Structure 1
Amino acid sequence: MNDPGLRERKKAATRAALTDAAIRLAQERGVEHVTAEAIADAAGVSPRTFHNYFANKEEAILAAMWDFVREVVAAIRARPARESAMEAMRHVADEMIATSVDSIDDLATRMRLMDNSPTLSRRNDALKEEVGRSVIEALAERSGTDPDRDLYPRLLTASLHAALIATIEVSRGDKTGRSLADLLTEAFDQLAAGLREPLR
C-alpha cells in the first residue's frame, strides 16, 4: 500500500531540487543561458519531470520566493486575533529571521537575479499580481479593511515590500557591520513610528 505522505514528501523534495538547481545555474550562467533541460539534468531528473512541476525556467527560479510569500501569508493568518496587522507582520518577520535566515538570503539572491534579467522580471510581475493579492487580503482581514476599497492594506503591503528591499540593499552593501535581522528590525521600528526623519 502506497504511503500518500511519503509520495508528497518525494514530490516536495523533487520540486526543491529543481528550484535549487535553477537558481544555482542562473547565478553561474545568467538566466538567459539556462535551459529547462540543464536544470533537469542538474537536479538528476528528466526534462519531462521538470515540466510536470514548472512550465518554464523562470517559474522554477521564482518558485521558492513565492512559496516563501505564501508561507508569510499563512503565518499572518495564524497570529492571535488581538494583534494589529503591523504587529502580526512584525512577529512573523521575527520568526522567519530566527528560523529561516537562509530563506531571507535566498530571497535576496532571487531579487538580484531579477535585477539582471528582464525576462525573469516580467514573469515575476505576473506572479506578483497573483500572490501579492493574497498578502493584501491577509492584511485587510487582520485590519478589518476592504482590500478593494481601502488604501490601508495596500499601503501597508507596499511599505513592507519597500522595507524588505531597502533592508536587503543596505545589507548587500556590507557597510553597516549589522546583520540582516537587525536592519529589518530597524525598518519595522521606523515604519511603526510613521517614518519620521532622523535627528541630525
Structure 2
Amino acid sequence: MPVENPTLPGRREQKRLQTRLALITAALRLADERGVDRMTVDEISAAAEVSPRTFFNYFATKEHALVGDPLEDCAVPALGDLPLLDALLDALRPTFEQIQRDRDLWLLRMRVIAANPQLLPLLIAAASTAEQRLSGAIAAHGGHPPDHPRPQVVAAVANAAVRVALIRWAGAGDARPLIEHVREAFAILHDLKES
C-alpha cells in the first residue's frame, strides 16, 4: 500500500486547489480579453468547466476571483532563529518559488489589475489580511505581544518591499528569479537599519 507524503495535499485537496486555480485563470483570461465589466460568472464557470454554483463555493464575486491569490490558503510558517529579515526570506521562500513557477499567471494578474483600478480596494484588503498573518509570525519571532506596533510596522514594510520586488520582477527584462528581487529589496531594508 503506497504511503502518502504528509507534506503534499491529498487527492481531495489537490482537486480543490486545481478547481480554484482553473477559476482564477479563466477569470483573468476573460478579464484580459474583454475587461472586468464584460464578463460574467457564468462565462468564467464555463471556461473553467464547472458550474456557477461551484464558482460561488470558492469566490463571492468575479472580482474576488481576479484578485484571489492562488497561495491564499498558505499559512505563514513560524520564523526560524535567523535574524528577522533572513527568517522572513527563508519562511516565505516557498511562496516566492511558487509565484516564480506561476509567472505567466502572476503577470496576467498584474496586467488585469493595472487595467482595472476598481480592483484595487480588494487587492488592498487581501494584502491587509496577509500582512496581519505575517505580523503574528513576526510577533512570535520577537517575543512581542500581538498588539505591539513593531510586528505590525515590520510586516507592513516587508509587504511593501515584496510588492516593489514583484513589480520589478514583472517588468524586468532579465531572467532573475523573484527571490533575487525580494532579497535585493530586503537588503535595502537592512541597509536602512544601519543608516
Range of TM-score over shorter length:
0.7 to 0.9
Taking the aligned partners of 2:118 and 2:153, their CA distance within structure 1 comes to: 27
Q: Is residue 74 from structure 1 mapped to residue 73 from structure 2 by the alignment?
A: no
**TM-score computed with the length of structure 1 as normaliser:** 0.76
- 1:1-200 equivalence runs, <5 A: 5-65=10-70, 67=72, 70-71=73-74, 73-75=75-77, 77=78, 79-80=79-80, 82-98=81-97, 100-103=99-102, 106-150=105-149, 152-174=150-172, 177=174, 179=176, 180-194=178-192
1:65–1:110 CA contact under 8 A, matched in 2: no
Quick one: structure 1 residues 90 and 126, their matched pair in 2 at CA, closer, same or farther if it must change by over 3 Å?
A: closer
**Structure 2: where are the runs of 5+ without partners?**
1-9
Tell me the C-alpha RMSD between the 2 structures: 2.7
Quick one: structure 1 residues 57 and 185, their matched pair in 2 at CA, closer, same or farther if it must change by over 3 Å?
A: same
Taking the aligned partners of 1:17 and 1:188, their CA distance within structure 2 comes to: 33
Q: Determine what percentage of the aligned residue pairs are the same residue.
A: 31
Q: CA deviation at 1:188?
A: 1.7
Q: CA deviation at 1:74?
A: 2.8
Query: Per-residue CA shift, 1:40-67, capped at 9, x if unaligned?
Result: 0100112122122221111112222561
Greater percentage in helix? 1
Amino acid in the other structure paired with 1:117: N
- Describe the SS at the equivalent of 1:74: coil
Q: CA deviation at 1:195?
A: 6.2
- Describe the SS at the equivalent of 1:194: helix
Taking the aligned partners of 1:167 and 1:44, their CA distance within structure 2 comes to: 34
How many pairs does the alignment contain? 185
Taking the aligned partners of 1:119 and 1:66, their CA distance within structure 2 comes to: 22
Q: CA deviation at 1:104?
A: 6.0
Quick one: structure 1 residues 168 and 105, their matched pair in 2 at CA, closer, same or farther if it must change by over 3 Å?
A: farther
1:22–1:57 CA contact under 8 A, matched in 2: yes
Q: CA deviation at 1:181?
A: 3.3
Query: Per-residue CA shift, 1:154-177, capped at 9, x if unaligned?
Result: 2211221221222233334435x3
**Structure 1: where are the runs of 5+ without partners?**
none
**TM-score computed with the length of structure 2 as normaliser:** 0.78
